[in-house]
Amino acid sequence: MTDGPLRPVPGPPRPPAAPADAGAGDGTLEAVLARLDGLDGLATADHVGVLQAVHDALVAELARTED
């Protein structure tokens, strides 16, 4: 019997994204980016959730600055 290729296991659910108007200079974006520092301590499967949350926060910040 042969096993097929391993499939990635989804990580925990993402925390809710910060509102787009939050963090105008109060360090919220820095806190989001600081989550990248903790990737070494997480299982590889959990990296996706962190990276997606950081991406969402960056997109929200860009949208806020375009207004």
**pLDDT computed for residue 14 by the predictor:** 64
pTM of the model: 0.56
What is the end-to-end Cα distance of the chain in Å, rounded?
Answer: 58
The answer for residues whose C-beta is within 8 angstroms of residue 13's C-beta and 6 or more apart is 49
**pLDDT computed for residue 7 by the predictor:** 74
From CA 57, how far away is CA 51, in angstroms rounded?
10
**pLDDT computed for residue 10 by the predictor:** 73
CA dihedral 26, 29, 32, 38 (to 10 degrees): -90
Residue pLDDT tens, the chain, 67 long: 566 677 777 777 666 655 544 444 456 888 888 999 999 998 999 999 999 999 999 998 898 887 6
**pLDDT computed for residue 37 by the predictor:** 92
